[in-house]
Structure 1
Amino acid sequence: MDLGIEGRVAVVTGADSGIGWHTARLLLQEGVTVVVTDRDEEALTKAAAELDAAPDKLFAFAADVTDADSVAELAEKTSAAVGDIDILVQSAGVTGAQGLFHEIDDEGWASTVETDLLGPVRVVRAFLPALRRGGWGRIVLLASEDAEQPYVDELPYCASKAGILSLTKGLSKTYASEGILVNAVSPAFIHTPMTDKMMDKRADERGTDRDEAIETFLDEERPFMELKRRGEPDEVASVVVFLCSERASFVNGTNYRVDSGSVATI
């Protein structure tokens, strides 16, 4: 299917691995010029090399979404390299502070919100002028099943991702008249380095291996994931790229769940 975005320009945050990296790969396949960014410059350079794209189609600039100056510098470097962008995919995020509510202090809350909610705010704010100048744009923010179905041991993350859904809806109402469509994608338990770490920790705590940790996690913590497996990052990226495309020209202000049924309600 021709997605109608050949020749467009995109920025993808959180692109050194997982959903962000696979999103960049699919956008490149559609003929999009892509700027990838993440905090770890070494990891980002390696990830960009693995995308194996033509030098004039792929650019990599390290940036930290928790630092407003760093995000502003990213926007400046992007403008100098590719001009105004058409597509923004905000994928950078962390699991953040974990534990029951009474076990998490202000710092745990603040550090999680700083990355998972204020980070996207900074990124959108930095690139919105370029999107508005173009008169055609797509913004896709990565939320989570946790936004709609909170889990008691990671409430800072859940609250931050719920904020992303509200931010998405508000932005979609503000800028659709200028041709900018804004949507969210909410994955559940995807095979990424972040969930690898979660499962390795679970395996250590239970004296087992990662495969058994995944199996017991699905049975005990995610019983409504009917496919009984972790999702693959390209399964999420495919939905993200659709929302970036001309094929999604009447989709605005919505949240696409890519969760194997994990959220128990419709």
Structure 2
Amino acid sequence: MDLGIAGRTALVTGGDSGIGWSTAAELLREGATVVLSDRDPEKLDEAASKLDAPAGRLHAFAADLTDPEAIAELHRSAAASAGPIDTLVHCAGITGAQGKFHEIGDDGWISTLDIDLLAPVRVARAFLDELRASGRGRIVFIASEDAVQPYDDELPYCAAKAGVLALAKGLSRSYAREGLLVNTVSPAFIRTPMTDAMMDRRAEQLGSTREEAIRSFLDEERPFLELKRRGTPEEVAAVIAFLCSDRASFVTGSNYRVDGGSVATL
């Protein structure tokens, strides 16, 4: 199926691994030009080197998305190398402060919200003019199952991702008639470095292997994840690519769950 992505120019944040990297790979396969960004220059360059990109269709720029000036520099670099961005896929994020509510102070909340909620606000604001001007712009924010099914040991992350859903819905109403479509994708328990780290911590606490920690986590913490496995970044990237495409021309303000059934309600 031709998704109608060829010729697009996409910025993918959080692109050095996981969902971001797989999304960049999928968009490149579909004919887009990709600007890849993440915080660590060395990891970003290594990730970019592993992508199968035709000459001139992949550009990589490191940026700290908590720093407005760094985002402005990312904007300048992207424009100079790739031209105007008409597609934004914001994957950058962290697990953030964890623990019960009474165990997390202001610093934990602020640092988590700064990256998981304010960073997508900053990036969308920086690139909004060209996304609007394209007449066929796309924004896809990565949210989470946690946005609608919060867990009591990671409430800052849950609150941030709920905010991302509200942000996307609001933007979709503001700019749809200009051709800018805004949606979210909400994964659950995907095989990424972030969940690897979570499972390694769990394995250490339990005195088990990572695979044993994954099985016990599914049984005890994610009982409604009916497929009983971690999803793959490629499975999420496929949905993101659809939302970036001409095939999704009547989709805006929507949240697509890629969660193996993990969210227990409608």
TM bin (shorter chain)? over 0.9
Distance in 1 (CA, whole Å) between partners of 2:209 and 2:139 is: 39
> What's the counterpart of residue 114 of structure 2?
114
CA drift at 1:134: 1.2
Gaps spanning 5+ residues in structure 1: where?
none
User: Does 2:81 match 1:96?
Assistant: no
Gaps spanning 5+ residues in structure 2: where?
none
- Corresponding pairs, count: 266
Provide the TM-score with structure 2 as the length reference. Answer: 0.99
CA drift at 1:85: 1.1
Distance in 2 (CA, whole Å) between partners of 1:83 and 1:203 is: 46
User: Does 2:143 match 1:168?
Assistant: no
> What's the counterpart of residue 3 of structure 1?
3
Within 5 Å, give how 1:67-216 maps onto structure 2. 67-216=67-216
CA drift at 1:52: 2.7
CA drift at 1:55: 3.1
Provide the TM-score with structure 1 as the length reference. Answer: 0.99
> What's the counterpart of residue 232 of structure 1?
232
Distance in 2 (CA, whole Å) between partners of 1:51 and 1:81 is: 18
The structure 1 segments of at least 4 consecutive aligned residues displaced by more than 4 Å after TM superposition are: none
> What's the counterpart of residue 20 of structure 1?
20
Distance in 2 (CA, whole Å) between partners of 1:164 and 1:126 is: 17
Q: Which amino acid aligns with 2:201?
A: K
Secondary structure, in 3 states, of the residue corresponding to 1:125? Answer: helix
Distance in 2 (CA, whole Å) between partners of 1:80 and 1:133 is: 17
Q: Which amino acid aligns with 2:153?
A: D
The CA RMSD over aligned residues, in Å, is: 0.5
User: Does 2:252 match 1:252?
Assistant: yes
Distance in 1 (CA, whole Å) between partners of 2:95 and 2:117 is: 12
Q: Which amino acid aligns with 2:246?
A: E
Q: Percent identity?
A: 67
CA drift at 1:156: 0.1
